[in-house]
Amino acid sequence: MGLSWIKMAFYSVRVLSFHSPYVRGLTNDSLSCCINALLQSFNVTTELIEILNKWHPSDQAELNNVPGQLKKALNDMKISSNPSPHMHFLNCLHHHSIRRFDVHDADEIFHTILNLTQKQMADKDMAQEIRKLFEIKVETQVMCKTCTYIQKVPNSLFSLPLAIREEENDLKSCIHSFSQKQTLKDDDECYCDRCSEKQPSTHQLRLVSLPGVLCVHLKRFRNDCRFTRKLENKVTFPDTLQKDIFDAGLLENAEYYSLYAVIVHIGTALFGHYTAYIRPDQDWYYADDSYVRKVSWSDVQGTYKGCKTAYLLLYRKMSRSASE
């Protein structure tokens, strides 16, 4: 989402106010706040950087190669004094229809970057490593209520889309609602291969496997009668996800997820701005384009509700034995 021109001009001239060896600001160029926030999250996704650093493509200098320019941008964010180390990456995305001065959705751009990376990375083993890092495997199950025949369709996602209710929510209830069984009847009945006709059915999405980096998408934008509005309802989320928040078998007893990045949307469905909270080490930092400052966990919790709300949550899988 894009801010009004006056507000965007304010953000574009901000300067870095806090120096950190882990975090640097990024200039806002032509409403690039959405991409800036995503780059901040990628920059602390060490698993992704390790894969990219193992990749040495012959066409890395190609201006329109998304994984090559992503690798360059993340590297330049660490070593370059240029206030716009991501400019080539922005130009590359513009070439692939992520246009300058357009309003963008962070979840859509997140998927676009990963999909283009899969498509344009000539080393398919490396591309598969990146896919495996983010890929959430799901299964759609449609059961005929007449004969109990179950049709199963596998699918995969790069983010877990969670609907929120127009009341107070917590992440655990949202995840459970994702897998809740729904009854389909009347016009929504599904064709049963065994009965050879449409029958009353149940529909369920089941989580099959979770990746090393889990991106959670809080679906705050809702279309009502062709009008898009933003839900500012409270959604609490923890800094760690334990085994009991998922279906049995998706996490081992010694595994859990630790929150390390939050992409935030500020504003309304019509006028908005993206920023990021990131945790490169034990401390949290807030990156608002070129403005960066150190913050606390309570500041991150301030994005539970209101105008400034969490939109994407990035968790990494951890091992208790490795962290002790």
Q: Chain centroid to CA 115: how far?
A: 13
Report the DSSP pairing between strands 197-199 and 221-224: unpaired
CATH number of the domain to which 42 belongs? 3.90.70.10
Query: For residue 60, what pLDDT is reported?
Result: 53
What is the mean pLDDT, run by run of 10 residues, along the chain of 324 residues? 39 42 87 97 97 82 89 93 92 94 95 96 95 97 93 96 95 94 86 91 94 98 88 97 87 93 94 96 95 97 97 95 54
Return the pLDDT at 158.
Answer: 98
pLDDT at 290: 94
What is the model's pLDDT at position 22? 67
Spatial neighbors of 242 by CB under 8 A, at least 6 apart, are: 251, 256
Find the domain containing 317 and state its range.
5-323
> DSSP string of 93-119?
HHHTT--TT----HHHHHHHHHHHHHH
Pairing status of strand 308-319 against strand 255-267: antiparallel
CA atoms of 274 and 267, how far apart (whole Å): 9
Predicted pLDDT at 59: 54
Q: Which long-range contacts (CB under 8 A, 24 or more apart) does 56-65 make?
A: 57/121, 57/122, 57/123, 58/122, 59/122, 63/88, 63/91, 63/92, 63/95, 64/92, 64/95, 64/96, 65/92, 65/120
pLDDT in tens, 70-80: 999 999 999 98
Number of folded domains in the chain?
1
Q: pLDDT by residue (tens digit) across 100-154?
A: 899 899 999 999 999 999 999 999 999 999 999 999 999 999 999 999 999 999 9
Residue 137, pLDDT score: 96
Q: Is the whole-model pTM more than 0.75?
A: yes
